[in-house]
């Protein structure tokens, strides 16, 4: 932290002597710079645009430097603003770490923005987030439920919960539990169209898909990848499960979305000799050497939840739980 503070002090000395800068103004400026606009920054911070504008104006007055070039189309960093942003972000990060270090054990403050899948986030993960807020009354929780891939850095999220198979990226992922997937269809669909016995048979079936994703299946120790086709697409897993129950095709879905339908007989598992490989549920965060304590606490709470969930069969986690992974 000392190095970051010294660097910012040097910048301030070069701009306006002994300028005094408020940490809240610094944090607001960093949010505006990262969000590329005042409106989005205000949304992230949970305050009005007028408050953000006043904080920026005070900061620029204190520094004697214009940090943002404003126009009717929005705002952009000036050359001085681009330089100042990096120093300000480092100081804000170090101060947040210092605050966490001196807080009493268990006490969390500040804001935690989490992106969660819509398909089963409200039913499966919302209770965990509510419990997190209950245990830490000084923590502000903001959750976005969406099945689109949220850009954590650009959109200002602290972390995200992702389910399935991760793609390569520079995000840091920690596995919070296994997720098992089944290929399913309704009895009426099977009666009308038959049941596929091997992955190659899927070319003759209607696949219920989110977009143009590939499906993976086990063939002994090998993984086979197929790209099925279908006329029904939805960007939500619950909607795909409903389509499968209605007999529109075969669906490749996690157990947490199908277990009730399987128990009732509305869906049946098919192609059991070629099951999908185990996937996982992960908590992802932006790159950095150490996660904030609020993210560590949420991660442990999610792992605890997975251990107690009757619908997500749990296996022991690897000791190498932190790895570079993807969105």
Q: What is the pLDDT of residues 175-209, one digit of tens each?
A: 998 888 999 999 999 999 999 999 999 999 999 99
Say what the pLDDT of residue 226 is: 94
pLDDT, tens digit (0-9, with 9 covering 90-100), for 221-246: 899 999 999 999 998 889 999 999 99
Predicted confidence band of residue 42 (pLDDT cuts 50, 70, 90): confident
pLDDT bin (cut points 50, 70, 90) of residue 2 is very low
Second-level CATH architecture of 2-102: Orthogonal Bundle (1.10)
Same fold, 2-102 and 181-269: no
- Has residue 286 got a pLDDT over 80? yes
Residues 6 or more apart whose CB falls under 8 angstroms from that of 300 comprise none
Burial 145-166 (b: 16+ CB within 10 A, else e): eebeebebeebbbbbbbbbebb
Phi, psi (degrees; rounded to nearest 5) at 205: -130, 155
How many angstroms separate the first and last alpha carbons of the chain? 30
Q: How far apart are CA 198 and CA 183, in angstroms?
A: 11
Q: In this structure, are residues 243 and 161 in contact, taking their beta carbons and an 8 Å threshold?
A: no
Q: How confident is the model at residue 168 (pLDDT cuts 50, 70, 90)?
A: low
Strand pairing class (139-145; 110-116) = parallel
Q: How crowded is residue 214: how many other Cβ atoms within 10 Å of its Cβ? A: 11
Give the residue from 187, 149, 184 showing the smallest Cα distance to 169.
Answer: 149
**70: CB partners within 8 A, 6+ apart:** none
Could you tell me which CATH number the domain at 110-179+279-325 has?
A: 3.40.190.10
Q: CA-based angle 172:174:178, to the nearest 5? A: 140
Q: Where are the domains of the chain?
A: 2-102, 110-179+279-325, 181-269
Give the pLDDT confidence of 83-112 residue by residue, as tens digits. 888 888 888 877 777 776 666 666 788 889
User: HSE-up of 189 (CA within 13 Å, CB side)?
Assistant: 25
Fold of the domain spanning 181-269 = D-Maltodextrin-Binding Protein; domain 2 (3.40.190)
**Whole-number Å distance between alpha carbons of 165 and 327:** 9
């Amino acid at each position: 932290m000392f190095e970051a503070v010294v660097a910012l002090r040097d910048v301030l000395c070069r701009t306006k002597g002994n300028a005094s800068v408020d940490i809240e103004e610094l944090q607001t400026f960093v949010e505006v710079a990262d969000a590329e606009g005042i409106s989005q920054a205000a949304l992230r911070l949970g305050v009005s645009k007028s408050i953000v504008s006043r904080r920026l104006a005070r900061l620029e007055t204190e520094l004697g430097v214009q940090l943002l070039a404003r126009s009717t189309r929005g705002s952009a960093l000036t050359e001085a603003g681009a330089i100042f942003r990096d120093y300000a972000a480092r100081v804000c990060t170090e101060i947040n770490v210092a605050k966490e270090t001196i807080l009493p054990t268990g006490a969390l403050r500040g804001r935690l923005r989490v992106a969660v899948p819509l398909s089963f986030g409200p039913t499966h993960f919302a209770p965990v987030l509510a419990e997190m807020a209950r245990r830490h009354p000084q923590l502000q929780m903001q959750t976005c439920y969406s099945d689109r891939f949220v850009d954590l850095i650009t959109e200002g999220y602290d972390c995200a919960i992702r389910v399935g198979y991760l793609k390569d990226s520079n995000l840091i992922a920690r596995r919070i539990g296994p997720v098992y997937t089944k290929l399913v269809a309704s009895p009426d669909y099977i009666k009308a169209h038959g049941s596929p016995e091997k992955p190659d048979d899927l070319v003759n079936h209607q696949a219920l898909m989110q977009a143009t994703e590939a499906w993976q299946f086990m063939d002994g120790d090998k993984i086979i990848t197929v790209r099925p086709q279908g006329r029904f697409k939805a960007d939500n897993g619950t909607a795909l499960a409903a389509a499968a129950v209605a007999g529109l095709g075969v669906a490749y879905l996690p157990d947490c979305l199908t277990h009730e339908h399987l128990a009732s007989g509305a869906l049946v598992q098919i192609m059991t000799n070629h099951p999908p490989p185990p996937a996982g549920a992960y908590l992802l965060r932006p790159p950095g050497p150490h996660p904030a304590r609020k993210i560590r606490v949420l991660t442990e709470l999610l792992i605890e939840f997975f251990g107690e969930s009757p619908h997500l069969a749990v296996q022991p986690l690897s000791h190498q739980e932190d790895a570079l992974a993807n969105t």
